[in-house]
Amino acid sequence: MPAVLLAALAKDTKYGANVKTASSHLWERRYSGPSELSQVLPGSNGPVWGDIQPHLSPVALHGAYWDSLFKSQCYDSAPGLEKWTYYTPGQWKTFSLPIGTLTFGEGLRLAIWSRHATEYLSGDLKIKNVSLDGVSINFNGITLENYDTGTASGTISADGSEYTISAGTTVKKISTETFTITPSSVLEFEWYQDTPGTTHGIGFENNEIYNDGKRIVQLSGIWFDGNLFMQGCVPSIGAKNMYDPYGYIDGPPNKPGTSYFVSSLGPQKAMVATMFLVPEVCNIVNYEPLIEYVDRTSEHGVRAGNDPCVTPDSREDFTNFRESSAVCNPYTGGAGCLYYGVTWGPQDKTNPDSPCITTPTPPYTKVGRFSRLDGEPVGGSYGSAQVSANWKVIRGTSGSCRAPLRGQAIKN
């Protein structure tokens, strides 16, 4: 953006005048942009990140935020967050999945899913010491055939306890042997990956139909595969650029400090560097909250503290909560929800400026939606290597990038 800005200024002198007026209209619902500025809101605790949503009705405005937060299950004390989480990169992690809560019956076959897109290759994926209800499943004792579109195979260790899928290989296997799953069945195994890859999971299917009934559990991957079952925090679900309509914390609502927050930080930091290097650009941009925001992300990280809003009520019905058939649907104003707008969410769903509900209902809600993330370090993408290498020198210690008037010294 800074290079484009400088080129525009050099070519069109009127462009500077237009940009100068933009910062005074950034937060009017009928206007938005430029994004480097409009994604930095003057929040209650200092500038916070996120895009305004001027096209949404009041009900949809609050609903879109809470629906994304509800479905991602990344907020503090989310039921899904507490059950099981992603693997730890580069380390073996032991899983104990209540597989019987997803599917049960006779004639079910063990399925292993490891999908890669060419642009998202990963390190080796390894599975070992698999057991169902305490009975070991040895890979030398079962026959694995191709499932869905998979054509590649993994490697079985000599003793049959471990199955390795090489980096960048798409392997989808299902056993010819069948198993009986009861509602209380538990699948235990150890899981290892160097890097996330695309989508990876394990579970039990009843035939070779692609993902019949979402019985395969996705445990890792940078994509959320809507055809697999994912339990736990999934920050890729929902609105990836929306702001906090209550102004306390960074967006996006699914998990502050992720997705477009990261991709916008590099250009924003480069913009601030240009503002300090070229005082006229500082005067044109005329939006110093951007400087305060970039300083805060560099020194503090994500802003998620000092948040009075409470989390979703754990008594809600989470049946199919990530599907169109969800029982509780905040986006439509809380259709099917028993407590949305009562113990959590907005105080007034029909008012775009309504505050959030701040009175907790223990033990079902807590104050602070993502308090545990406050101060978490962030690294921006799409940035400038030169800016990063010289940031402290470029930024300096001045509180303002404004140049002094002729004959006048800068005052901090």
Per-residue pLDDT of the chain (412 residues; tens, 9 = 90+): 555 555 555 556 566 666 666 566 665 655 555 677 888 988 998 999 998 877 788 899 999 999 999 988 889 988 765 544 556 678 898 888 888 877 788 889 999 988 876 655 667 889 999 999 999 999 999 999 988 878 889 999 999 999 998 888 888 899 999 999 998 999 999 999 877 677 888 988 876 555 555 678 888 776 766 667 666 677 878 888 899 999 999 999 999 998 889 989 998 998 899 888 888 788 777 788 999 999 999 999 999 999 999 999 999 988 777 777 788 999 989 999 999 999 999 999 999 899 999 999 999 999 999 999 999 988 777 777 888 888 888 888 887 887 554 434 434 4
Contact 113, 201 (CB under 8 A): yes
Same domain, 176 and 248: no
pLDDT given at position 405: 42
- pLDDT of 408 reads 40
Residue 184 belongs to some domain of the structure:
yes
Residues 6+ apart with CB under 8 A from 103: 181, 203, 204, 206, 213, 215
> Residue 364 domain-assigned?
no
Structure confidence at residue 5 (pLDDT)? 58
Instruction: Quote the pLDDT of residue 245.
Output: 94
Tokens of 18: 């237009």
Distances (CA, A) of 17 to 280, 345, 408: 12, 41, 24
52 contacts 243 by C-beta, under 8 angstroms = yes
Q: How many domains, the chain? A: 2
Considering the domain boundaries, does residue 26 fall inside one?
yes
The DSSP H or E segment spanning 205 is: strand 199-205
**Which pLDDT value is given to residue 409?**
41
The angle formed by the CA atoms of residues 70, 71 and 77, to the nearest 5 degrees, is 50
Are residues 141 and 257 located together in one domain of the fold?
no
Give yes or no: residues 299 and 259 share one domain. Answer: yes
According to the model, what pLDDT value does residue 195 have?
74
Distances (CA, A) of 374 to 221, 235, 393: 24, 16, 27
* Burial of residue 93 (number of CB atoms within 10 Å: 0-12, 13-18, 19+): middle
Q: Are residues 378 and 275 in the same domain?
A: yes
Would residue 70 count as lying in a domain? no
In a domain, 315, yes or no: no
**Residues 156 and 189 placed together within one structural domain of the fold:** yes
Domain assignment present for residue 6? The answer is yes
- Is position 326 within any domain? no
Token couple for 6: 């400088």
Burial class (CB in 10 A: 0-12, 13-18, 19+), 379: exposed
Same-domain pairing of 139 and 284: no
Query: Are 166 and 245 in a shared domain?
Result: no
Does 261 share its domain with 389? yes
Q: Could you tell me the residue range of the domain that residue 103 belongs to?
A: 93-220
**Whole-number Å distance between alpha carbons of 53 and 260:** 15
On whether both 163 and 208 belong to a single domain, the answer is yes
Q: What is the pLDDT of residue 85?
A: 53
Is 354 part of any domain?
no
DSSP 8-state secondary structure symbol assigned to residue 3:
H
Beta pairing partners, 179: 108
Q: How many Å apart are CA 79 and CA 274, to the nearest integer? A: 45
Amino acid 403: pLDDT: 55
Q: Are residues 119 and 188 in the same domain?
A: yes
Residues 245 and 391 in one domain: yes
Question: Do both 390 and 262 map to the same domain?
Answer: yes
